[in-house]
Amino acid sequence: MDRPSMKFASETEGARPIHVLRPEDFEAWSVNQTEATRIWVSALAFEARAGQTLVLPGTDGAPSAALVGLGAKARNGRQRFSVAAARAELPAGIWRIATHLPGEEMAEAALGWLLSGYRFDRFAEAKTPKAMLVAPDGVDAARIEAIAAGEALTRDLINTPARDMGPADLAASAQALGKAFGAEVVVRSGAEIAEGFPLVQAVGQAAGPDRGPRLIEMRWGQSGPRVTLVGKGVCFDTGGLNLKPGASMGLMKKDMGGAATVLGLAHMIMALGLDIQLRVLIPAVENAVSGEAFRPGDILPSRLGPTVEVNNTDAEGRLVLADALALACEEDHDLLASMATLTGAARVAVGPDLAPFYVDDDDVASELMASGRRVRDPLWRMPFWDPYETMIEPGIADLDNAPSGGFAGSITAALFLRRFARPSPRYVHFDIYGWNPTAAPARPKGGVGQGARALLELIAGMA
């Protein structure tokens, strides 16, 4: 979907300046202004606090410039949010950032501006901001637009109701993305799933033929490092026979947030033309309830071979990912990453903003943490704690999909997945939330990509 509000202005003539200020810089800026401007600023109590925006009138009374407060430098964690918040308060027209900001801060401000133009308008008209920004000097405008477009795709996919985003619809979205960038997309279904991906089949078989399970595979690029992305595509999760309570089911359209995030990341990679060999794998299912549903107590085979005892049908994400990871590891790769809205335990541990990740390789962990800090995509490393391996070994099958006791839920889920990603020390698993519970500048309430920009930074460094 083309979104002009998420692109930079194509015209630059007549662009009005935006002065981005901190309290410690405000006085120096003020002394160079006219008396009339100083009176106006004082009367409206602008002090360059974080989130403050003030439009300055010209001599004819029309808007001529704007001030945006960043707040004190020591407290300023996400500068781009202030500029993003300002967009909604600016009148229509073309604007430019007139203040010199360090390169990363300027890129953040520009990305925040574009992300603030996102609206989910598939089912109802939404007002998009009319203020447009000239691409700031010194930033990679094409890169920023590609990241914004990838994030918009992720948000659209998550925000779409399950009625319109079942396994077949998710596959169609992947095919459309592949067509846009010349990628090869193969969608497995029916007998291919039943015969080759038994865990995917077990989880998805209750949904009926029109919403039956799929395994989506995308390939792009002919040279460079081999990067495989695996995304959980549970298009709706009732919990299965271990039915979720109503209050927990309302947001379950977002349970394909991992798939949405890897597709958004794939968009970024392909739009930027990174020199890598990209492979994307998405097990797409609906965890439904019917006479065909898999049951607590069932012991299921897997593509890799280990059998799995089902102790909770609501721990289905790790099952479908297991078969996809097994397929991923049938080919060599330089980096393997899975992304999934996998456990409530991760949300309890770090809340909705941080994306916890697991990896054995300390160098990859350090690079990811550094990448997340650079691009303000917050991550937190969690441990593959080997002593907890015993929790996922029930005794009558090789593995248990939902250990009893409630301890270390996110860690045990990650350990379960690692069993199917071996041998791969450069395997990274992200246990994301994929949803903004409250609106913030550049981050409206609803679906959101997490970890994608940090992972993009890491992958770009490999290319």
In DSSP notation, 315-348 reads --HHHHHHHHHHHHTTS--SEEEEEE---HHHHH
CA 370-371-372 angle, to 5 degrees, is 90
Q: Which residues of 140-173 are buried (b: 16+ CB within 10 A; e: fewer)?
A: ebebbbbbbbbbbbbbbbbbbebeebbbbbbbeb
Res. 462: pLDDT tops 60: yes
Measured distance CA(253)–CA(256) in Å, rounded: 7
Among candidate residues 16, 188, 318, 347, the one labeled active-site is 318
Helix (H, G, I), strand (E, B) or coil at 53: strand
What token pair was written down for 49? 């606090």
Measured distance CA(217)–CA(186) in Å, rounded: 5
**What's the mean pLDDT in 375-390?**
96
Question: 234-247, pLDDT tens digit by residue?
Answer: 999 999 999 999 99
Res. 459: pLDDT tops 80: yes
Measured distance CA(433)–CA(363) in Å, rounded: 25
Question: 309-353, pLDDT tens digit by residue?
Answer: 999 999 999 999 999 999 999 999 999 999 999 999 999 999 999
Task: Determine whether 244 is an active site residue.
Answer: yes
| CB 65 within 8 Å of CB 16 | yes
Res. 1: pLDDT tops 80: no
What letter represents residue 448's amino acid?
V
Question: Among the listed ranges 68-72, 90-94, 281-285, 456-460, which one has the minimum average pLDDT value?
Answer: 68-72
**What's the mean pLDDT in 382-410?**
94
| CB 153 within 8 Å of CB 271 | no
Question: 405-441, pLDDT tens digit by residue?
Answer: 889 999 999 999 999 998 777 999 999 999 999 998 8
Task: Determine whether 226 is an active site residue.
Answer: no
The closest alpha carbon to 434, from 315, 354, 338, belongs to 354
How many residues make up the chain in this entry? Answer: 463
Q: Which residues of 4-15 are buried (b: 16+ CB within 10 A; e: fewer)?
A: ebbbbbeeeeeb
Among candidate residues 244, 373, 374, 381, the one labeled active-site is 244
CA 41-44-49 angle, to 5 degrees, is 80
Look at residue 72 in the predicted model and tell me its pLDDT. Answer: 81
Question: Among the listed ranges 43-47, 72-76, 165-169, which one has the minimum average pLDDT value?
Answer: 72-76
The closest alpha carbon to 48, from 69, 30, 77, 25, belongs to 69
For the chain, domains (ranges, CATH) are 4-139 (3.40.220.10), 145-462 (3.40.630.10)
Q: Count CA atoms within 13 Å of residue 331 on its CB side.
A: 18
**432: number of Cβ within 10 Å:** 28
